[in-house]
Amino acid sequence: MSENSPGPSPAADSADGSANLLEVRNLVKHFPIKSGILVDRQVGAVRAVDDVSFDVARGETLGLVGESGCGKSTLCRTVLKLLEPTSGSVRFEGTEISHMGRRGLQPLRREMQMIFQDPFASLNPRRRVGQIVGGPLKLHGIASGSTLKRQVQDLLERVGLNPEHYNRFPHEFSGGQRQRIGIARALALRPKLIVADEPVSALDVSIQAQIINLLEDLQDEFKLTYIFVAHDLGVIRHVSDRIAVMYLGKIVELGPADEVYSNPIHPYTLSLLSALPIPDPRANAEREPIVLEGDVPSPADPPAACRFHTRCPYATEICSEVEPELVLHDREHWAACHHPLNRGDPHAAQEALAKPDRDSA
Amino acid sequence: MARFVTRRLVGMVVVLFAISVLVFLIFNVIPGGDPGKRICGKNCNNALLTQINKDWGFNDSLPVQYVTMMKKVFTGELVSYSSQLNVDQQIKKGIPITFSLCIGAAVIWMAFAIVFGYLSAVKAGGFTDRALTILALVGISMPVFFLGAILLLYLTSKIQLFPTAGYVSLTSDPVQWAYHLFLPWITLAVLFVGFYSRVLRSNMLDVMNEDYVRTARAKGLSERQVRIHHVLRNSMIPVITLFGLDFGAVIGGGAIITESIFSLNGVGQYAADAITNVDLPPIMGVTLFGAFFIVFFNALVDITYAWLDPRIRLGTEAR
Amino acid sequence: MSEQLLSVRDLRVRFTTEDGIVHAVDGVSFDLAAGEVLAIVGESGSGKSVTAQTIMGLTRSPNARIEGSVAYRGRELLTADDEELMRVRGEEIAMIFQDPMTSLNPVYKVGDQIGEAIQAHRHESDHKAREQTIELLAAVGIPDPSKRVDNYPHEYSGGMRQRAMIAMGLALEPTVLIADEPSTALDVTIQAQILRLLEQLNRDRDLAVIIITHDLGVVAEIADRVLVMYGGRIIESGSLEQIFYDPQHPYTWGLLGSLARPDRPRTMRLSQITGQPPSLLAPPAGCHFRPRCPHAFDRCTRVPPLETRVGENHADRCWLSVEQKKTLRVVKTGEIGLEAPAA
């Protein structure tokens, strides 16, 4: 990655200083594979996140898509310093946090919260809803006693739960309601950034829409910034301003949501979109889907150069020899590919000129 | 595989070393443990005691004494303080008896545990299950010395169905061998039958809810095939693990009480005698013997486990 | 019209649990013709999986009460004894499940698990069964099948496991394949492969498929006919076109409207269905959707019948008149939904 940063344009500058809430540069997270007879030594690494850079602007929603094992969850956890990064930099509101210790992070933890996928596993079954939601408030010494209770009840009401259910246990709620509890907990400290890791994947369709709408309302109301992780491309398109597509630990495409969906540059993005069944039989019948062959390779031993070349219908020799850089193709639309697609439109042409080996397919 | 075995061997040496040091230290700390005085006996005088201490090396520092003893252990020269008999030979004499007792009991306990556990699980909630549950609980709660005594009292003296005591070697008369060992086998096995059948029952009930059991039914296997091939086999994996550990423990000293009750002069009986006499060399010998088997079966369990559950087998290769 | 293979009539399944009686399936009737792909759509607790498993006799247990009729080519399956049921399973009707990892026995080789199905029904030699297994694995697109046959399930990827499950289902050349959420646990690109495989089997082998799913995208991709289930009942049934372009039941509108679609630009809000799915322990009286339906009126406290009201073979369970439905279901020009999103 060079000096140019795959982030939003300067136009996105807001009144309160820097445009970017979060700046991630060359972030790497490797999980060592250990082996040995008596003393373990490292014999390899699962390259879960491998040299990833992106920015998140204040108030925007960055959608993160990719198949299982692409490193999107690890990326989130590393960004939030729930995992120690192997190398690289994470700046939150201009402060470098990647090397901070627990103590230094403590005040920042309030600003960054996470919502998890499984509303059944992520809530302590032995604690009451009031304790779960109020826990962070108490821990950070923000409220106690009756103030705490009132604040928690306000939060419950805000996420669409009955405030009188303050004393109930998580198992007394349905999946959608539990996810609301998780949202209330994340919201309690009035964070600036919420990382939502597959927040609706475990929910039924009719409940998904409720939760998505709730998250959008809260974003407006509390000026939240979201990193939204999902494997469901429909959900991602609906919630995101910009989208980052990951494949085997790398961001392969990054750009405004509508751009990525209507003019995908990377063949992987195209095949993801094409593989996704659309709930519209006529539209489905019209399109000619690209069905990728084979499985996603292991992140412990990713293919050399372009990691997608083993499954890519457009791959040529260069793809297995030179790793493509993430370059700017169009306004804010980045992609890492030797054979970029959809580059026919005129205003993109100049910016894409830099690449000699243009799309031939 | 080679790596696994190496790791295990190193582990075994470390464990045996630690145990031997512990036994040695404990023996030297406990009151009345002074071996010189014990060998010296009743008509002891200072001259004799000094002589004994000198001959046996009891004046040396503890580490030196330890090293001397361990040397003897490995050369097979370890000699009892009280009886002056060679420890290795005594243990060897006891091995056939202890093995006969333990292996026989193990076969009985596994066979009955599988049958009872299987029936219990298949008829879960029914009369058979409840009856077997009560039986199992009785078996688990019955102390070995009590059960042994009852069996001896009723089946050997009251109705003289079985011989009171003694051991006939397998090679000289297999029928008498089994006949003499029958009661000890039962005594030793009852606890384990109760315990294992319960474990197997609950494992089977868990496995019956697994998706692959549904798949097995869906592909048109008979209920018997489903139960034996899919439910029982998968439920046996944890039971085999337990078995390996328990069997090691039983051979390594767990049969002491049974051997004592039925006057079987096995390794356990030898250990019991040595403990009563506060006789370090046999205690050391028997402890190491027991520890060896426990560690050995532990390793064997791991290998068997890998064989039974392929996920573990290849897990070590890939990661 | 092609031959009717399966005929389900007024199927009711109740389970006795500690909390009370769960009315999992409440009067379900449908037919399946040879070579057809029937999708049963619904959310968790709608009774779609229980219906499918009951057809195969997999829900039989002392706690279950099963009523009604399931007939395969005229043979009643609900009252069939174990022996009869065994012959139907695998030979006539096969089933594959959602999670191919847990649905395969981890301690047996994949090939052995398929061979086991063959040998349980046909008296084949080990060698013959193995050869057939390899052929099956090749047919479902597993690369290098003669080597892969000796792998354990954990050595397969998720997609390959589901292929292996399908191979197992095909082993005895059934006429019906029931696929219970076959692609839900898989990634999008792998899901596409599996759906394509199912389509191909349906076409090439004339295999009738019942696909159980919550994903309307999957339905749109491969189904010929659709049953929408809610709270243990079928609330609408019709052809693919009818369900997607002329839905009659408010719940179907809600489902279609609440989808975040990848082929549409971001709209401000999703149209949503408020509230929670009904409890099967104490389902609401009358129409099960009534508590969540903004168009409910007094008549809805009685259960509406599943009746054909518009077009052929398009039935729904709603008291609203056809005209009312036409106006009520439009939330935005060209868009169907239950309720226009609140401002």
> Are the beta carbons of A197 and A74 closer than 8 angstroms?
no
- Give a yes or no: residue B81 inside a domain: no
Reported confidence tier of residue B1, pLDDT bands at 50, 70, 90: low
**What pLDDT score was predicted for residue A10?**
36
Residue type, position C112, single letter: D
Residues B289-312, mean pLDDT to the nearest whole number: 81
Cross-chain residue pair B7–A37, CB shorter than 8 Å: yes
Show the tokens assigned to C1.
């019209």
Q: In what order do the strands lie in the sheet with A87-92?
A: A41-57, A20-35, A87-92, A95-96
**What pLDDT score was predicted for residue A352?**
40
The torsion angle over the Cα atoms of residues C231, C234, C235 and C241, rounded to 10 degrees, is: 130
Task: For C178, name the nearest residue in chain B, comparing CA atoms only.
Answer: B218
Cross-chain residue pair A35–B319, CB shorter than 8 Å: yes
Q: Which residues contact C61 (CB under 8 A, 6 or more apart)?
A: C15
**Residue A72 sits in the same domain as residue A89:** yes
> Are the beta carbons of C30 and C227 closer than 8 angstroms?
yes
**Residue A172 sits in the same domain as residue A219:** no
- C5-34 tens-digit pLDDT: 999 999 999 999 888 899 999 999 999 999
**What pLDDT score was predicted for residue C252?**
92
Contacts of C165 in chain B (CB under 8 A): 215
- Give a yes or no: residue A201 inside a domain: yes
Q: Which residues contact B241 (CB under 8 A, 6 or more apart)?
A: B301, B304, B305
- Give a yes or no: residue B258 inside a domain: yes
CB pairs under 8 A between A and C: 143
Contacts of C171 in chain B (CB under 8 A): 219
- C262-306 tens-digit pLDDT: 777 776 677 788 888 888 888 888 999 999 888 988 899 999 999
Q: How many helices and strands (H and E) does chain A possess? A: 11, 12
Question: What is the Cα gyration radius of chain B?
Answer: 24
**Residue B201 sits in the same domain as residue B286:** yes
**What pLDDT score was predicted for residue C210?**
95
Residue type, position C56, single letter: M
Task: For C55, name the nearest residue in chain B, comparing CA atoms only.
Answer: B218
Domain total for chain A? Answer: 3
C partners (3+ CB pairs within 8 A) are A, B
| CA dist., res. A213 & res. A206, Å (int) | 11
**Domain containing residue A205: CATH number:** 3.40.50.300
- Give a yes or no: residue A105 inside a domain: yes
The predicted complex's ipTM stands at: 0.86
**Residue A83 sits in the same domain as residue A202:** yes
**Residue B105 sits in the same domain as residue B36:** no
Cross-chain residue pair B212–C90, CB shorter than 8 Å: no
> What is the crossing angle of helices A129-139 and A175-187, to 10°?
20
**Residue B34 sits in the same domain as residue B138:** no
Mean pLDDT of chain C: 88
- C63-116 tens-digit pLDDT: 899 999 999 998 999 998 988 898 899 889 999 988 888 899 988 999 999 999
CB pairs under 8 A between A and B: 8
Cross-chain residue pair A38–B3, CB shorter than 8 Å: no
Of residues A58 and B2, which shows the higher confidence score?
A: A58
**Could you give the C-alpha distances from C117 to C90, C110, C125, C126, in angstroms and in order?**
8, 11, 13, 12
**Residue in C87, C178, C170 with CA at minimum distance from that of residue C135:** C170
**Residue B37 sits in the same domain as residue B171:** no
| CA dist., res. A148 & res. A179, Å (int) | 21
Cα-flanking dihedrals φ and ψ of residue C80, to 5°? -65, 145
- Give a yes or no: residue A1 inside a domain: no
Contacts of C155 in chain B (CB under 8 A): 314
Q: A70: number of CA atoms within 13 Å, CB side?
A: 24
**What pLDDT score was predicted for residue C130?**
93
- Give a yes or no: residue A5 inside a domain: no
Task: For A217, name the nearest residue in chain C, comparing CA atoms only.
Answer: C269
- Give a yes or no: residue A250 inside a domain: no
Burial C237-249, CB ≥16 within 10 A → b, else e: bbbbebbbebbbb
Q: Which residues contact B268 (CB under 8 A, 6 or more apart)?
A: B94, B98, B253, B254, B255, B256, B257, B258, B259, B260
Residue type, position C30, single letter: F
- Give a yes or no: residue A311 inside a domain: yes
Cross-chain residue pair A205–C216, CB shorter than 8 Å: yes
Residues B36-45, mean pLDDT to the nearest whole number: 73
| CA dist., res. A293 & res. A311, Å (int) | 6
Residues B190-219, mean pLDDT to the nearest whole number: 91
Cross-chain residue pair C107–B229, CB shorter than 8 Å: no
Instruction: List the single best residue of B10, B317, B319 to mutate versus A (max A Cβ within 10 A).
Output: B319
- Give a yes or no: residue B281 inside a domain: yes
**Residue B122 sits in the same domain as residue B53:** no
Q: Tokens 């897990």 — which residue?
A: B315
Contacting A with CB below 8 Å, chain B residues are 3, 6-7, 10, 319
Does the beta carbon of C177 lie under 8 angstroms from any beta carbon of chain B? no
Contacts of C252 in chain A (CB under 8 A): none
**Residue A170 sits in the same domain as residue A143:** yes
What's the distance, Cα to Cα, between the start and end of chain C in Å? 49
**Residue A157 sits in the same domain as residue A280:** no
- Give a yes or no: residue A39 inside a domain: no
| CA dist., res. B289 & res. B83, Å (int) | 20
Domain total for chain B? Answer: 2
- CB-nearest to B319 from A33, A37, A38 is A33
**Residue A146 sits in the same domain as residue A84:** no
- DSSP-based three-state secondary structure for A170: helix
Q: In what order do the strands lie in the sheet with C4-17?
A: C20-33, C4-17, C64-72, C75-76
Q: How do beta strands A112-115 and A193-197 pair?
A: parallel
- B110-127 tens-digit pLDDT: 999 999 999 999 888 888
- What single string gives the DSSP state of each residue in C136-195? HHHHTT-SSHHHHTT--GGGS-HHHHHHHHHHHHHTT--SEEEEESTTTTS-HHHHHHHH
B168 lies in which domain range? Answer: 91-318
A201 lies in which domain range? Answer: 14-34+45-111+191-240
**Residue A92 sits in the same domain as residue A195:** yes
In this structure, the number of other CB atoms found within 10 A of the CB of residue C203 comes to 11
Report the length, in residues, of chain B. Answer: 319
Reported confidence tier of residue B319, pLDDT bands at 50, 70, 90: very low
| CA dist., res. B104 & res. B95, Å (int) | 14
- CB-nearest to B223 from C82, C104, C117 is C82
> Are the beta carbons of A257 and A241 closer than 8 angstroms?
yes
**Residue B54 sits in the same domain as residue B173:** no
Question: Which has the minimum average pLDDT: A37-41, B272-276, C180-184?
Answer: A37-41
Does the beta carbon of C126 lie under 8 angstroms from any beta carbon of chain B? no
Alpha carbon A106 to chain centroid distance? 23
**Residue A175 sits in the same domain as residue A290:** no
Instruction: List the single best residue of B122, B219, B224, B228 to mutate versus C (max C Cβ within 10 A).
Output: B219
**What pLDDT score was predicted for residue C94?**
93
H or E stretch including B286? helix B280-308
Distance from CA of C54 to the nearest CA of B (A): 11
**What pLDDT score was predicted for residue C341?**
58
Residues B143-156, mean pLDDT to the nearest whole number: 83
> Are the beta carbons of A336 and A289 closer than 8 angstroms?
no
**Residue in A331, A337, A327 with CA at minimum distance from that of residue A267:** A337
Contacts of A261 in chain C (CB under 8 A): 262-263
Cross-chain residue pair B218–C89, CB shorter than 8 Å: yes
**Domain containing residue B306: CATH number:** 1.10.3720.10
Contacts of C276 in chain A (CB under 8 A): 174, 176-177, 207
**What pLDDT score was predicted for residue C342?**
55
Task: For C120, name the nearest residue in chain B, comparing CA atoms only.
Answer: B221
**Residue B198 sits in the same domain as residue B50:** no
**Residue A156 sits in the same domain as residue A200:** no
**Residue A165 sits in the same domain as residue A52:** no
| CA dist., res. B225 & res. B232, Å (int) | 10
**Residue A312 sits in the same domain as residue A361:** yes
Question: Which has the minimum average pLDDT: B150-159, C149-158, C242-251?
Answer: B150-159
Q: Which of residues 135-174 of C touch B (CB under 8 A)?
A: 152, 154-155, 165, 168-169, 171-172
Q: Which residues contact C98 (CB under 8 A, 6 or more apart)?
A: C180, C181, C182, C184, C185
| CA dist., res. C226 & res. B246, Å (int) | 57
Contacts of B3 in chain A (CB under 8 A): 37
- Give a yes or no: residue A256 inside a domain: no
Residue type, position C258, single letter: S
**Residue B190 sits in the same domain as residue B302:** yes
- Within chain A, which residues score under 70 in pLDDT? 1-18, 36-39, 344-361
- DSSP-based three-state secondary structure for C333: coil
Question: Which has the minimum average pLDDT: B155-159, B210-214, C43-47, C145-149?
Answer: B155-159
Distance from CA of C32 to the nearest CA of A (A): 21
Report the length, in residues, of chain A. Answer: 361
Helices (H), chain A: 72-79, 102-109, 129-139, 145-158, 175-187, 205-222, 233-239, 257-262, 267-275, 281-286, 346-352
Show the tokens assigned to C169.
């289902």
**Residue B195 sits in the same domain as residue B293:** yes
| CA dist., res. C173 & res. C90, Å (int) | 8
| CA dist., res. B216 & res. C97, Å (int) | 12
Reported confidence tier of residue C1, pLDDT bands at 50, 70, 90: low
B partners (3+ CB pairs within 8 A) are A, C
- CB-nearest to B6 from A33, A35, A37 is A37
Q: Alpha-carbon torsion C31, C32, C38, C41, what sign?
A: positive
**Residue A81 sits in the same domain as residue A153:** no
